[in-house]
Amino acid sequence: MARSFDTLTAAEIAAGIAAGDFSAAEVCAAALDAIAAREPEVQAFLQVTPELAQDAAARIDAARAAGEALPPLAGVPVAIKDNMNLTGTRTTCASRMLETYESPYTATCVARMLAAGCIPVGKANMDEFAFGSSTDSSAYHPTNNPWDTTRVPGGSSGGSAAAVAAGMVPLSLGSDTGGSIRQPAALCGIVGMKPTYGAVSRYGVVAFGSSLDQVGPFGRTVEDVALAMDALVAGGRDAYDSTSQEVAPAFAAAAAAAGEGLAGVRIGMVPAFMEAEGLTPEVRRGVERAAQTLADAGAEIVEVDLPHVDAAIAAYYVIGPAEAFSNLARFDGIRYGYQEPGCTNLATQSALSRAHGFGDEAKRRQMLGAYLLSSGVYDTYYYAAQKARTLITADYNAAFAQVDAILMPATPHAAFRHGEISDPTQMYLSDMYTISLNIAGNGGIVVPVGLGEDTGLPMAAQLVAPAFADERLVTYAAAIERGLANGNNGASVLGVAPAFAGKGGELR
Ligand code: GLN
């Protein structure tokens, strides 16, 4: 009997291909078919890459026919955020600035997903240069939230999240500088993970804030995210990213360990986070549901304090723009990027190329960064932000002396409508729960906790672990998923957004 490919997890697709239940070519065809059927309403992609996908699928099928052992994610379709280089694709960062930029090589994170057997179906939409929380700042088109297409998917990795939530791919990659994996995962009802800074190589990912950026996966189940994490860290530290560290590929095993319960585990909660202004009651109830599930699995819930964390957003909007200003200086139409025609001198060339190549938010961030790094101003803001960073990091370290992980909201509210938040400062607040982790460097995971009673939209909780203890995140998130997915096969709390489930993409 024909079934839609979106009923399968990444783990099930790889197992089905290895067992000969279906071929990688069939899965690839189903994924491209699902994309064709769903993409007009979702618009998650900037570029779909059928040839790259079909070639990769053919290689998997040939390897299987030759009796070779298949890699762990053989035949699993994956979407790649468009700030990651992949040979044979453009890497536009959703900017006019890089409209014609062809990837000169493949980013390490992408190469590792391909080495694990994934088939690349396309490059996903994002906020321009990853500045944003809605994906509405893409220079090309907005992306729609599959749970309600009048709403945003979050950002900046909104295309990567929407592609997974709409069932077009089981896995995707995003990047997270202040919340860009975790906030869209929360708004789209899927799992998203930002590992500890340094766990995944940034080589080949267009830099935004070099001390904050980290790559991570999206999936519909914790197990799938764990499998992607194993793929991303396999091969050890990357000599091309000096901050990259050796991490054991023990994530899938850690997700499975949730079955043993959480006796002896201490989970911290920050009372101030649960009472914060702007947190909607339905999100708070969702996080409380997650806490109850962890307690039911045997964990002890205790209160912890992060006294300086209120300074995180302010510190981030100094450090982030300062680093972005430095990183984006190369896009001047001379070294890289859009080149304004007809200019007769270099200064005009650079000024006009930048004026016409960048959108509003990218300009706002760079002007802010330029100002913050100017003499006189630098001491007042940049040093203060670095001091706040030290204090926030110390807060987390002190909390982790008492608890194994911290449970908190991922976002203050459910997905908002396109255009609903027009004030940039208001938009920045949508990352009030995610930013402090990038400041401190710790890893975080977002897991769906069901639909909100008031909006009917996906709700989520976030877990944070000590630096380089990211495997705990998947164990505890898997425990939440198991506890909440009763009657749903234990597989996924929400699954594919109902309007898109089964729409095209039949596996024949
Ligand atoms: N929304 C935050 C910002 O606009 C975070 C973006 C990100 O993580 N790339 O800076």
- Cα(323) to ligand 1 centroid in Å equals 13
pLDDT, tens digit, for every residue of 137-155? 999 999 999 999 999 999 9
pLDDT, tens digit, for every residue of 222-231? 999 999 999 9
pLDDT band at 49 (very low <50, low <70, confident <90, very high): very high
Lowest-confidence pick of 111-115, 300-304, 425-429: 425-429
Say yes or no: 190 and 271 in one domain: yes
In a domain, 424, yes or no: no
Say yes or no: 259 and 153 in one domain: yes
pLDDT band at 102 (very low <50, low <70, confident <90, very high): very high
Find the mean pLDDT for residues 7-26.
Answer: 97
Which residues does 55 contact at the CB level (< 8 Å), separation at least 6?
none
Q: Ligand 1 pocket, 131 CB below 6 A?
A: yes
In a domain, 422, yes or no: no
* Prediction pTM value: 0.97
Say yes or no: 196 and 335 in one domain: no
- Cα(214) to ligand 1 centroid in Å equals 11
Residue 488 has pLDDT above 60, yes or no: no
Lowest-confidence pick of 61-75, 304-318, 416-430: 416-430
The residues that bridge with 145 in the sheet, in sequence order, are: 148
> What is the predicted pLDDT for the residue at 428?
87
Say yes or no: 196 and 56 in one domain: yes
Find the mean pLDDT for residues 414-440.
Answer: 93
Q: In the block, which residue shows the tokens 């379709």?
A: 77
Find the mean pLDDT for residues 324-331.
Answer: 97
Name which residue sits closest to atom 4 of ligand 1, judged by CA. Answer: 132
In a domain, 323, yes or no: yes
Say yes or no: 352 and 252 in one domain: no
- Cα(322) to ligand 1 centroid in Å equals 14
- Cα(65) to ligand 1 centroid in Å equals 44
Q: Ligand 1 pocket, 178 CB below 6 A?
A: yes
Closest residue by Cα to residue 163 from 134, 184, 138 = 184
Q: Ligand 1 pocket, 154 CB below 6 A?
A: no
Find the mean pLDDT for residues 365-388.
Answer: 96
Say yes or no: 401 and 256 in one domain: yes
> What is the predicted pLDDT for the residue at 492?
64
The ligand 1 atom nearest the CA atom of 180 = 8
What average pLDDT does the structure give for the chain? 96
Say yes or no: 57 and 129 in one domain: yes
> What is the predicted pLDDT for the residue at 2?
74
The total of structural domains in the chain comes to: 2
In a domain, 423, yes or no: no
Q: How many CB atoms are located within 10 Å of the residue 83 CB?
A: 32
Say yes or no: 115 and 262 in one domain: yes
Residue 31 has pLDDT above 60, yes or no: yes
In a domain, 75, yes or no: yes
Find the mean pLDDT for residues 112-126.
Answer: 98
Q: Ligand 1 pocket, 213 CB below 6 A?
A: no
Q: Ligand 1 pocket, 135 CB below 6 A?
A: no
Say yes or no: 133 and 184 in one domain: yes
Parent domain of 326: 310-389
Say yes or no: 328 and 408 in one domain: no
Which residues does 240 contact at the CB level (< 8 Å), separation at least 6?
108, 201, 203, 204
Say yes or no: 481 and 466 in one domain: yes
> What is the predicted pLDDT for the residue at 128?
98
pLDDT band at 490 (very low <50, low <70, confident <90, very high): very low
In a domain, 186, yes or no: yes
pLDDT, tens digit, for every residue of 455-485? 999 999 999 999 999 999 999 999 999 999 8
Say yes or no: 54 and 65 in one domain: yes
Question: Please, is 360 exposed, middle or buried when counting C-beta atoms within 10 Å of its C-beta (0-12, 13-18, 19+)?
Answer: exposed
Q: Can you give the CATH number for the domain in which 189 is found?
A: 3.90.1300.10
> What is the predicted pLDDT for the residue at 22?
97
> What is the predicted pLDDT for the residue at 175?
98
Q: Ligand 1 pocket, 431 CB below 6 A?
A: yes
Catalytic residue annotation = 81, 156, 180
In a domain, 240, yes or no: yes
In a domain, 426, yes or no: no
The ligand 1 atom nearest the CA atom of 212 = 8
